[in-house]
């Protein structure tokens, strides 16, 4: 196949010559909605950055790369930063409400009481985390080179990919409320994984799924997704968090999307990340039998209808169908070649459903902005 000339306008997704088409002949993207297509030279420059290792993603910025650890910001969901600002405002308002309540009660020593209550709550949270770690030491196995060398090697691999070198205690337990969970309070970072999940996914053919799941947890630490958890716990201690949840929950949903995206980059396998996400929908037994696009018509329905969208407003995590759709959209944006392989496995109806989801995705808007 001959090389596309540098000046030819191409599809921003797959790089196929497309200036004479309404729909890309290579990947089917709707090009008529874009103001201008990039040239082949522009597309190759953008593609080189989008598929670079994390250590090189700072090349997106106009300033020279920093000498310190690489930024993880390009891998975060586009709405996360704005929602963090709103959530921080919510936390500040919650603390302000507590202070004003004490003032309204006519308590002259309100400031001393507020500071004392927050200090006591902080100590209790730290102590609770230490008790939890002590219990894990007594009823689980702490991951290390001597206890679980394969899992430790995988953890080291993920940490190296994300350039994360802070201490993380990882424990494998028999049963837990979630197959894998992460907590981070006052410098104590803990990841807990169910032994059955590790045993199943350490097999070579399923290892990328385990990398995806662990990448989500380490990525959350790298991206500081637990930065507000302590303040939220303090608000809970003074019964003020209930009024702030409308401002907090959107940010937590955005961090879930970001975690999925970071995990996908860590494992480097869109298909494996999608299968790991399908486990949330139908369980481990059926995840591998469910086609990549099987849930897309349902995901499209969930995003269109008012009641599912309303129900999500009261949850700290987005609907699993929304997570699946977002991961597919991020895959199309970040790794068009992997997306193309997934697209070929979908029929026309599911491809059409995805195009409807893609039209609402912030990643389509990013590509449109690049093309402009």
> Over the stretch 86-99, which tens digit does the pLDDT of each residue have?
999 888 887 777 67
Residue 63 has pLDDT above 90, yes or no: no
SS3 36: coil
Q: How far apart are CA 88 and CA 93, in angstroms?
A: 9
pTM passes above 0.95: no
Q: pLDDT at position 170, please?
A: 94
User: Model confidence at 110, in pLDDT bands (50, 70, 90)?
Assistant: low
Question: In whole numbers, what is the pLDDT of the chain averaged over residues?
Answer: 82
The string of DSSP letters for 245-264 reads HHHHHHHHHHHHHHHHHHHH
- The residues with which 193 forms a beta bridge, in sequence order, are 172, 180
The pLDDT of residue 270: 92
pLDDT tens digits for range 169-186: 999 998 888 889 998 888
| Residues 6 or more apart in contact with residue 97 via CB below 8 angstroms | 240, 243
Q: Which residues of 149-170 are buried (b: 16+ CB within 10 A; e: fewer)?
A: eebeebbeebbebbebeeebeb
In this prediction, residue 1 carries a pLDDT of 42
- How much is the pLDDT for 319? 94
| Cβ contact 181:225 at 8 Å | no
End-to-end CA distance of the chain: 28
Lowest pLDDT segment from 80-84, 152-156, 292-296? 292-296
Task: Indicate whether 13 pLDDT > 90.
Answer: no
| Residue with the two structure tokens 């650890």 | 69
Q: How many CB atoms lie under 10 A from the CB of residue 358?
A: 19
Report domain extents, the chain: 76-250, 269-372
- Rg of the Cα trace of the chain? 23
**What counts of helices (H) and strands (E) characterise the chain?**
16, 4
Q: 86: which residues sit within 8 A by CB, 6+ positions away?
A: 247, 250, 251
The predicted pLDDT at position 234 comes to: 77
* CA 46 – CA 14 distance, rounded (Å): 11
Identify the band that residue 74 occupies on the pLDDT scale cut at 50, 70 and 90.
Answer: confident
Annotate 30-65 with b (16+ C-beta within 10 A) or e (fewer): ebeebeebbbbebbeebbeebbeebeebbeeeeeee
User: Which of 225, 344, 208, 333 minimizes the C-alpha distance to 276?
Assistant: 208
């Amino acid at each position: 196949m001959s090389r596309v000339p540098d000046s030819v306008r191409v599809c921003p997704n797959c790089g196929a010559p497309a200036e004479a088409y309404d729909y890309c002949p290579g990947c089917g993207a709707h090009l008529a909605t874009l103001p201008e297509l990039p040239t082949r030279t522009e597309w190759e420059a953008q593609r080189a950055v989008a598929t670079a290792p994390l250590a090189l993603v700072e090349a997106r910025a106009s300033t020279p790369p920093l000498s310190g650890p690489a930024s993880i910001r390009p891998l975060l969901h586009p709405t996360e930063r704005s929602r963090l600002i709103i959530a921080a405002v919510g936390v500040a308002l919650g603390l302000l409400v507590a202070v004003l309540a004490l003032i309204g009660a006519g308590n002259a020593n309100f400031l001393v009481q507020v500071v004392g209550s927050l200090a006591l709550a902080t100590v209790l949270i730290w102590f609770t985390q230490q008790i939890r770690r002590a219990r894990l030491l007594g009823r689980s196995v702490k991951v290390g080179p001597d206890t679980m060398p394969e899992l430790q090697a995988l953890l080291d691999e993920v940490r190296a990919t994300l350039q994360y070198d802070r201490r993380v205690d990882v424990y494998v337990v028999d049963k837990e409320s979630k197959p894998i969970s992460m907590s981070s309070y006052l410098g104590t970072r803990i990841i807990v994984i169910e032994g059955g999940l590790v045993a199943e996914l350490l097999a070579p053919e399923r290892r990328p799924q385990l990398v995806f799941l662990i990448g989500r947890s380490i990525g959350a630490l790298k991206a500081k997704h637990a930065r507000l958890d302590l303040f939220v716990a303090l608000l809970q201690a003074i019964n003020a968090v209930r009024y702030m949840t409308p401002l907090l929950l959107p940010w937590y949903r955005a961090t879930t999307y970001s975690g999925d995206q970071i995990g996908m980059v860590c494992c480097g396998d869109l298909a494996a990340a999608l299968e790991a996400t399908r486990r949330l929908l139908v369980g481990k037994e059926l995840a591998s039998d469910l086609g990549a696009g099987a849930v897309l018509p349902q995901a499209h329905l969930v995003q269109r209808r008012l009641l599912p969208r309303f129900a999500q407003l009261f949850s700290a995590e987005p609907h699993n169908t929304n997570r699946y759709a977002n991961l597919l959209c991020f895959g199309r944006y970040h790794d068009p070649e992997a997306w193309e392989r997934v697209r070929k496995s979908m029929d026309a109806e599911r491809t059409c459903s995805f195009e409807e989801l893609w039209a609402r995705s912030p990643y389509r808007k990013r590509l449109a902005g690049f093309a402009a």
